[in-house]
Structure 1
Amino acid sequence: MRASDADRDRVAAVLREHTAQGRITMDEFNERLEQLYKSKTYGELAKLTSDLPDVDLRHRQLAKAEQAPAKRAANHAGMKAAWGAWAMASGINWVIWLIVSVSSGELIYPWPMWVMGPWGVILLISTVFGNNQPKRQ
Protein backbone atom coordinates (compact mmCIF):
# COMPACT_ATOMS: atom_id res chain seq x y z
CA MET A 1 0.00 0.00 0.00
CA ARG A 2 1.11 3.52 -0.69
CA ALA A 3 2.16 5.74 2.22
CA SER A 4 0.87 9.26 2.79
CA ASP A 5 2.74 12.39 3.85
CA ALA A 6 1.30 11.96 7.36
CA ASP A 7 2.77 8.44 7.49
CA ARG A 8 6.17 9.79 6.47
CA ASP A 9 5.92 12.51 9.12
CA ARG A 10 5.22 9.89 11.81
CA VAL A 11 8.27 7.85 10.77
CA ALA A 12 10.37 11.04 10.71
CA ALA A 13 9.26 11.76 14.30
CA VAL A 14 10.27 8.24 15.34
CA LEU A 15 13.67 8.68 13.69
CA ARG A 16 14.14 12.04 15.47
CA GLU A 17 13.32 10.40 18.78
CA HIS A 18 15.82 7.59 18.21
CA THR A 19 18.45 10.16 17.25
CA ALA A 20 17.73 12.13 20.43
CA GLN A 21 18.09 8.94 22.47
CA GLY A 22 21.42 8.14 20.79
CA ARG A 23 20.36 4.97 18.98
CA ILE A 24 21.30 6.36 15.58
CA THR A 25 23.89 8.98 14.64
CA MET A 26 23.14 12.19 12.81
CA ASP A 27 24.65 10.72 9.64
CA GLU A 28 22.37 7.66 9.91
CA PHE A 29 19.44 9.95 10.64
CA ASN A 30 20.14 12.03 7.54
CA GLU A 31 20.50 8.91 5.36
CA ARG A 32 17.27 7.43 6.69
CA LEU A 33 15.47 10.73 6.31
CA GLU A 34 16.57 10.94 2.69
CA GLN A 35 15.26 7.41 2.09
CA LEU A 36 12.10 8.26 4.00
CA TYR A 37 11.06 10.99 1.61
CA LYS A 38 11.84 8.74 -1.38
CA SER A 39 9.67 5.95 0.07
CA LYS A 40 6.31 5.28 -1.53
CA THR A 41 4.95 2.24 0.34
CA TYR A 42 4.43 1.14 3.93
CA GLY A 43 6.99 -1.63 3.37
CA GLU A 44 9.69 0.88 2.46
CA LEU A 45 8.83 2.93 5.56
CA ALA A 46 8.95 -0.15 7.80
CA LYS A 47 12.49 -0.98 6.60
CA LEU A 48 13.72 2.39 7.93
CA THR A 49 12.84 1.51 11.52
CA SER A 50 13.02 -2.31 11.45
CA ASP A 51 16.27 -2.40 13.50
CA LEU A 52 14.97 0.08 16.11
CA PRO A 53 12.71 -0.56 19.12
CA ASP A 54 9.16 0.79 19.09
CA VAL A 55 8.67 4.32 20.42
CA ASP A 56 5.38 5.49 21.88
CA LEU A 57 5.30 9.07 20.63
CA ARG A 58 1.87 9.70 22.14
CA HIS A 59 3.22 9.00 25.64
CA ARG A 60 6.20 11.29 24.99
CA GLN A 61 3.94 14.08 23.74
CA LEU A 62 1.78 13.80 26.87
CA ALA A 63 4.83 14.05 29.10
CA LYS A 64 5.99 17.13 27.22
CA ALA A 65 2.52 18.70 27.44
CA GLU A 66 2.44 18.17 31.22
CA GLN A 67 5.81 19.89 31.63
CA ALA A 68 4.97 22.76 29.28
CA PRO A 69 2.90 24.96 31.67
CA ALA A 70 5.66 25.06 34.30
CA LYS A 71 8.27 25.76 31.66
CA ARG A 72 6.11 28.46 30.07
CA ALA A 73 5.65 30.21 33.41
CA ALA A 74 9.38 30.25 34.08
CA ASN A 75 10.33 31.33 30.56
CA HIS A 76 7.52 33.68 29.56
CA ALA A 77 8.69 35.26 26.30
CA GLY A 78 6.93 38.57 26.99
CA MET A 79 8.82 39.07 30.24
CA LYS A 80 12.11 38.18 28.57
CA ALA A 81 11.36 40.70 25.83
CA ALA A 82 10.51 43.39 28.40
CA TRP A 83 13.81 42.84 30.23
CA GLY A 84 15.64 42.82 26.91
CA ALA A 85 14.08 46.13 25.88
CA TRP A 86 14.94 47.62 29.29
CA ALA A 87 18.57 46.47 29.01
CA MET A 88 18.90 47.76 25.45
CA ALA A 89 17.37 51.17 26.24
CA SER A 90 19.46 51.49 29.40
CA GLY A 91 22.64 50.60 27.56
CA ILE A 92 21.97 53.09 24.78
CA ASN A 93 21.22 55.86 27.28
CA TRP A 94 24.41 55.18 29.25
CA VAL A 95 26.47 55.22 26.03
CA ILE A 96 24.92 58.57 25.06
CA TRP A 97 25.63 59.91 28.56
CA LEU A 98 29.25 58.72 28.35
CA ILE A 99 29.78 60.26 24.90
CA VAL A 100 28.32 63.59 26.04
CA SER A 101 30.40 63.54 29.23
CA VAL A 102 33.64 62.75 27.39
CA SER A 103 33.02 65.25 24.60
CA SER A 104 32.12 68.06 27.04
CA GLY A 105 35.22 67.43 29.13
CA GLU A 106 33.30 67.14 32.41
CA LEU A 107 31.19 64.53 34.13
CA ILE A 108 27.56 65.53 33.64
CA TYR A 109 24.62 64.50 35.83
CA PRO A 110 23.85 60.74 35.34
CA TRP A 111 20.38 61.22 33.89
CA PRO A 112 20.08 57.65 32.48
CA MET A 113 19.31 56.41 36.00
CA TRP A 114 15.94 58.21 35.69
CA VAL A 115 15.21 56.25 32.56
CA MET A 116 16.27 52.83 33.82
CA GLY A 117 15.34 53.19 37.50
CA PRO A 118 11.53 53.43 37.50
CA TRP A 119 11.19 51.11 34.50
CA GLY A 120 13.51 48.57 36.14
CA VAL A 121 11.61 48.72 39.44
CA ILE A 122 8.31 48.06 37.67
CA LEU A 123 9.83 45.14 35.75
CA LEU A 124 11.38 43.72 38.91
CA ILE A 125 8.07 43.88 40.78
CA SER A 126 6.30 42.26 37.82
CA THR A 127 8.91 39.51 37.65
CA VAL A 128 8.96 38.75 41.36
CA PHE A 129 5.28 39.14 42.23
CA GLY A 130 3.57 38.68 38.85
CA ASN A 131 2.39 35.36 37.49
CA ASN A 132 4.73 35.61 34.44
CA GLN A 133 2.15 34.00 32.20
CA PRO A 134 0.94 35.46 28.92
CA LYS A 135 -2.58 36.85 28.86
CA ARG A 136 -5.11 34.56 27.20
CA GLN A 137 -7.80 36.14 25.09
Structure 2
Amino acid sequence: MANSPEMRASDVDRDRVAAVLREHTAQGRITMDEFNERLEQLYKSRTYGELAKLTADLPDVDLRAHQAKAVGPAPAERAGMHPGMRAAWGAWAVASGINWVIWLIVSVTSADLVYPWPLWVMGPWGVILLMSTIFGSGPRRT
Protein backbone atom coordinates (compact mmCIF):
# COMPACT_ATOMS: atom_id res chain seq x y z
CA MET A 1 0.00 0.00 0.00
CA ALA A 2 1.46 3.36 -1.03
CA ASN A 3 1.87 6.09 1.56
CA SER A 4 -0.74 8.72 0.88
CA PRO A 5 -0.06 12.33 2.00
CA GLU A 6 -2.88 12.11 4.55
CA MET A 7 -1.51 8.98 6.22
CA ARG A 8 -0.04 9.44 9.70
CA ALA A 9 3.75 9.36 9.99
CA SER A 10 5.60 7.47 12.71
CA ASP A 11 8.54 8.50 14.87
CA VAL A 12 10.78 6.38 12.64
CA ASP A 13 9.60 8.36 9.61
CA ARG A 14 10.38 11.63 11.40
CA ASP A 15 13.83 10.35 12.40
CA ARG A 16 14.51 9.40 8.78
CA VAL A 17 13.60 12.91 7.58
CA ALA A 18 15.73 14.42 10.35
CA ALA A 19 18.71 12.38 9.11
CA VAL A 20 18.10 13.65 5.57
CA LEU A 21 17.95 17.24 6.83
CA ARG A 22 21.20 16.73 8.77
CA GLU A 23 22.88 15.43 5.63
CA HIS A 24 21.71 18.41 3.59
CA THR A 25 22.98 20.74 6.32
CA ALA A 26 26.35 18.98 6.29
CA GLN A 27 26.51 19.36 2.50
CA GLY A 28 25.71 23.09 2.80
CA ARG A 29 22.34 23.07 1.05
CA ILE A 30 20.54 24.53 4.04
CA THR A 31 21.85 26.76 6.82
CA MET A 32 21.74 25.93 10.50
CA ASP A 33 18.88 28.39 10.97
CA GLU A 34 16.90 26.69 8.19
CA PHE A 35 17.79 23.31 9.65
CA ASN A 36 16.51 24.33 13.09
CA GLU A 37 13.29 25.75 11.61
CA ARG A 38 12.67 22.61 9.57
CA LEU A 39 13.50 20.39 12.52
CA GLU A 40 10.97 22.26 14.65
CA GLN A 41 8.34 21.80 11.94
CA LEU A 42 9.39 18.18 11.54
CA TYR A 43 8.50 17.21 15.09
CA LYS A 44 5.16 19.02 14.79
CA SER A 45 4.32 17.13 11.58
CA ARG A 46 1.71 14.41 11.71
CA THR A 47 1.33 13.18 8.14
CA TYR A 48 3.53 12.06 5.26
CA GLY A 49 2.40 15.13 3.30
CA GLU A 50 3.72 17.47 6.01
CA LEU A 51 7.02 15.57 6.07
CA ALA A 52 7.33 15.74 2.28
CA LYS A 53 6.99 19.55 2.34
CA LEU A 54 10.10 19.80 4.51
CA THR A 55 12.34 18.23 1.87
CA ALA A 56 10.45 19.17 -1.32
CA ASP A 57 13.08 21.74 -2.38
CA LEU A 58 16.00 19.38 -1.69
CA PRO A 59 17.42 16.58 -3.86
CA ASP A 60 17.04 12.97 -2.74
CA VAL A 61 19.78 11.63 -0.47
CA ASP A 62 20.61 7.95 -0.19
CA LEU A 63 21.58 7.63 3.46
CA ARG A 64 22.62 4.01 2.99
CA ALA A 65 25.45 5.11 0.70
CA HIS A 66 26.78 7.40 3.43
CA GLN A 67 26.69 4.65 6.04
CA ALA A 68 28.61 2.31 3.74
CA LYS A 69 31.50 4.78 3.63
CA ALA A 70 32.20 4.30 7.33
CA VAL A 71 35.91 3.65 7.83
CA GLY A 72 35.54 0.98 10.46
CA PRO A 73 34.96 0.54 14.15
CA ALA A 74 35.71 3.37 16.55
CA PRO A 75 39.24 3.47 18.02
CA ALA A 76 37.97 2.16 21.37
CA GLU A 77 36.35 -0.82 19.65
CA ARG A 78 39.47 -1.49 17.60
CA ALA A 79 41.37 -1.66 20.87
CA GLY A 80 38.92 -4.34 21.99
CA MET A 81 37.26 -2.31 24.75
CA HIS A 82 33.66 -1.16 24.76
CA PRO A 83 33.39 2.67 24.67
CA GLY A 84 31.33 2.61 27.88
CA MET A 85 34.08 0.70 29.65
CA ARG A 86 36.69 3.22 28.46
CA ALA A 87 34.49 5.99 29.87
CA ALA A 88 34.18 4.15 33.20
CA TRP A 89 37.97 3.81 33.43
CA GLY A 90 38.33 7.49 32.58
CA ALA A 91 35.91 8.46 35.36
CA TRP A 92 37.81 6.23 37.79
CA ALA A 93 41.14 7.83 36.83
CA VAL A 94 39.80 11.38 37.20
CA ALA A 95 38.14 10.68 40.56
CA SER A 96 41.26 8.90 41.84
CA GLY A 97 43.49 11.74 40.72
CA ILE A 98 41.31 14.35 42.44
CA ASN A 99 41.32 12.32 45.67
CA TRP A 100 45.11 11.96 45.60
CA VAL A 101 45.53 15.71 45.04
CA ILE A 102 43.27 16.42 48.04
CA TRP A 103 45.22 13.91 50.12
CA LEU A 104 48.52 15.52 49.09
CA ILE A 105 47.28 19.03 49.93
CA VAL A 106 46.06 17.88 53.36
CA SER A 107 49.34 16.04 54.02
CA VAL A 108 51.49 19.02 53.03
CA THR A 109 49.46 21.62 54.93
CA SER A 110 49.29 19.52 58.11
CA ALA A 111 53.05 18.85 58.01
CA ASP A 112 52.24 15.22 58.75
CA LEU A 113 51.76 12.25 56.47
CA VAL A 114 48.02 11.56 56.54
CA TYR A 115 46.64 8.02 56.17
CA PRO A 116 46.29 7.26 52.40
CA TRP A 117 42.49 7.18 52.41
CA PRO A 118 42.18 7.54 48.58
CA LEU A 119 43.06 3.84 48.39
CA TRP A 120 39.60 3.12 49.88
CA VAL A 121 37.99 5.14 47.11
CA MET A 122 39.94 3.84 44.15
CA GLY A 123 40.57 0.26 45.36
CA PRO A 124 37.09 -1.31 45.36
CA TRP A 125 35.98 0.72 42.35
CA GLY A 126 39.12 -0.30 40.45
CA VAL A 127 38.68 -3.97 41.34
CA ILE A 128 35.09 -3.93 40.06
CA LEU A 129 36.18 -2.22 36.84
CA LEU A 130 39.04 -4.66 36.40
CA MET A 131 36.73 -7.66 36.84
CA SER A 132 34.23 -6.12 34.41
CA THR A 133 36.98 -5.50 31.88
CA ILE A 134 38.41 -8.99 32.14
CA PHE A 135 35.25 -11.06 32.49
CA GLY A 136 32.66 -8.73 30.93
CA SER A 137 31.36 -9.09 27.43
CA GLY A 138 33.57 -7.70 24.68
CA PRO A 139 32.51 -5.16 22.09
CA ARG A 140 29.24 -6.04 20.38
CA ARG A 141 29.56 -7.01 16.79
CA THR A 142 26.59 -6.16 14.58
In structure 1, the residue matched to 2:55 is 49
Residues 43-52 or 71-80, more deviating: 71-80
In structure 2, the residue matched to 1:129 is none
In structure 2, the residue matched to 1:21 is 27
Distance in 2, Cα, partners of 1:83 & 1:8: 35
In structure 2, the residue matched to 1:122 is none
| Runs (4+) off by over 4 Å | none
The superposition leaves residues 92-122 of structure 1 with CA deviations (integer Å, 9 ceiling, x where unpaired) of 123213212312x36x49x86xx6xxx9xxx
CA shift at 1:14, angstroms? 0.7
**CA separation of 1:71 and 1:3: change in aligned 2, threshold 3 A:** farther
- SS of the residue 2:29 aligns to: coil
Q: Does the aligned pair in 1 maintain the 2:42–2:51 contact within 8 Å? A: yes
Of 2, 8, 16, the match for 1:10: 16
Residue 98 (str. 1) matches residue 105 (str. 2): yes
In structure 1, the residue matched to 2:133 is none
Q: Does the aligned pair in 1 maintain the 2:20–2:61 contact within 8 Å? A: yes
Residue 63 (str. 1) matches residue 100 (str. 2): no
Number of residue pairs matched? Answer: 118
Q: Percent identity?
A: 48
The superposition leaves residues 55-106 of structure 1 with CA deviations (integer Å, 9 ceiling, x where unpaired) of 1111222334x52355633583313422431342133123213212312x36
- SS of the residue 1:67 aligns to: coil
In structure 2, what residue type is equivalent to 1:86? Answer: A
- Give TM-score scaled by structure 2 length: 0.59
In structure 1, what residue type is equivalent to 2:30? Answer: I
Residues 49-58 or 83-92, more deviating: 83-92
